[in-house]
Chains A and B, each alone.
Chain A
Amino acid sequence: MIISDQELGAIWLTLKLATTVTLILLIFGTPLAYWLARTQSKCKPLISVFVAMPLVLPPTVLGFYLLIAMGPQGPIGHITQALGIGLLPFTFWGLVVASVIYSLPFVVQPIQNAIEAIGERPFEVAATLRASKLDCFFNVVLPYAKPGIITAAILGFAHTIGEFGVVLMIGGNIPDETRVVSVQIYDSVEALNYSQAHALSAVMLVFSFIILLCAYHYSRSAKHKMSVGV
């Protein structure tokens, strides 16, 4: 198995993309999950649906709409052009925006579940201690929801690594900018370079196995710790 420079470039780009997307999702997804878990608002079902949509939409649908929305005539395209950023399709940041949307439910839902599982009691205790909402978020929600947040980070990261349909639609196959591993594999299969496709696919397979093993192992040990009260 020989991994060429081009393939190493694709692996590096994929890791960079997944890391960026995971960080952004943790920063914006955690407050969103907190809000969804605690709110009484009438908008909650609507927002929940928007968050869950990427779970059921085919990635090509998402990619196709993003291509149009981020294009020169699209609403996102108008905004990015007005801000002087230019157009997002065919750029690394275009992929980041798309992947954030695509992986959103994989990050928000585990965190939301973890916060819902905390129950009312800790929030009541915090309230009697006159903790502010912000205090409560950092000193109650985050420590209690930590296993959920770590699961969310792993899932968001892994899901972005496995992304294909969206990237294909808005990527444009540019080396070191938008040509990620899944696209590289697809190219190799289409070009009948089966040995190259095998090599990279094997890397992906092993990687996915290890990352999921870590996730399951972690969530088991976290549950164990919670139950013995460490």
Chain B
Amino acid sequence: MRFIAIKLFTILLYVVNWPTFAENARIVVASNFSPVMQQLVERFEQQHIGRLQVTYTSSGKAYAQIIHGAPFDVFLSADQHKPKLLQDKNLAVQTSLYTYATGRLVLWSTRLPNNQAKQALLSNSYNKLALANAKLAPYGVATLEVLKSLNLLEQSQTKWVQGENIGQTLQFVRSGNADVGFVAYSQVINLNIDKMQYWLVPTDYHNPIQQDLVLLKRGATNPVAKAFIAFIKSEAIVKLISQNGYIAEY
């Protein structure tokens, strides 16, 4: 009887500790990176034993959840600011900051004739300009810099419609409600949009949109989390990321 009790207790311990036995890592990822991340997860799980549990959300929400104890091991942010803050607050492993992707902007239109998006913006002949909210989204900050470079900041302001993230900004343009909009290069690549429909903004029109990842305190001793970070820094993956509309160099 006593033997059975001990055995049951041991089984119970296994069940309770199951997550540590089945190796996995919890990754929280900025939504703009989700198409690429899905490819990464597939490749990673082919090559490694561990499993990745991925949560897609905005960087602001991820940050708020992490500082309140959310069980994530790695954070792929859409900016550099939030991973840095987490490191300063000692919630992330020191020196684990790494720029995994640098975003690029395009001016896209589904309403205007081919190659007319930029011209329409310059001549002020459009109904609405969709952009990501600069208070929230790094792509929004870069968009304001582009408008400043083009001397259009004041002129365009009354026509702004702001998405809370770059995904929503894409919807505004895609549904045709806004004639033109600044969205991420990675998004139009992912949707296989014809090159004639968008203008790829030259990189010297804005500061680089650098996206950093950080290893969180909870993941410091997790081998799968560490393996994932090594994986994302590998040559093949850097190449994959750059093929998806980001600047990434090995």
Give Cα distance in the complex from A166 to B178, angstroms: 18
Q: Given A67-B171, A71-B176, A187-B136 in contact, is the A192-B163 Cβ separation under 8 Å?
A: no
Contact in complex: B177, A190 (CB < 8 Å): no
Q: Is B243 an interface residue (CB 8 A)?
A: no
Q: Is B135 an interface residue (CB 8 A)?
A: yes
Residues in A whose Cβ lies below 8 Å from that of B135: 187, 190-191
Residues in A whose Cβ lies below 8 Å from that of B127: 87
Q: Which of B125-175 contact A (CB under 8 A)?
A: 127-128, 130, 133, 135-136, 160-164, 168, 171-172, 175
Q: Give A90's nearest chain B residue, CB to CB.
A: B161
Give Cα distance in the complex from A190 to B82, angstroms: 11
Encode contact with B along A159-201: 1 for CB under 8 Å, 0 otherwise.
Answer: 0000000001100111000000001001101111000000000
Residues in B whose Cβ lies below 8 Å from that of A90: 128, 161, 177-178
Contact in complex: A173, B176 (CB < 8 Å): no
Q: Is B111 an interface residue (CB 8 A)?
A: yes
Contact in complex: A173, B60 (CB < 8 Å): no
* Shortest Cβ distance from residue B135 to the other chain A in the assembled complex, whole angstroms: 5
Q: Give A174's nearest chain B residue, CB to CB.
A: B161
Q: By the criterion of a CB under 8 Å from any partner CB, how many residues of chain B are at the interface?
A: 25
Give which listed residue, A68, A168, A190, A191, contacts B168 with CB less than 8 A. Answer: A168
Q: Is A73 an interface residue (CB 8 A)?
A: yes
Q: Give B133's nearest chain A residue, CB to CB.
A: A173
Q: DSSP majority for the A interface?
A: loop
Q: Is A72 an interface residue (CB 8 A)?
A: yes
Q: Which of B169-189 contact A (CB under 8 A)?
A: 171-172, 175-178
Q: Is B227 an interface residue (CB 8 A)?
A: no
* Shortest Cβ distance from residue B212 to the other chain A in the assembled complex, whole angstroms: 16
Q: Give B130's nearest chain A residue, CB to CB.
A: A172
Contact in complex: B111, A173 (CB < 8 Å): no
Contact in complex: B60, A190 (CB < 8 Å): yes
Q: Is A89 an interface residue (CB 8 A)?
A: yes
Q: Is B64 an interface residue (CB 8 A)?
A: yes
Residues in B whose Cβ lies below 8 Å from that of A169: 168, 171
Residues in B whose Cβ lies below 8 Å from that of A192: 60, 63-64, 82
Q: Give A188's nearest chain B residue, CB to CB.
A: B135
Additional 4 contacts, C-beta under 8 A, given A90-B161, A190-B136: A67-B171, A87-B127, A174-B162, A192-B60
Q: List 19 A-B contacts (CB under 8 A).
A: A67-B177, A68-B175, A71-B176, A72-B176, A87-B127, A89-B172, A168-B164, A172-B163, A173-B133, A173-B161, A173-B164, A174-B160, A174-B162, A186-B164, A187-B164, A189-B64, A190-B136, A190-B164, A192-B82
Q: Which 4 A-B pairs have CB atoms at the shortest separation, nearest pair first?
A: A172-B161, A190-B60, A173-B162, A71-B175
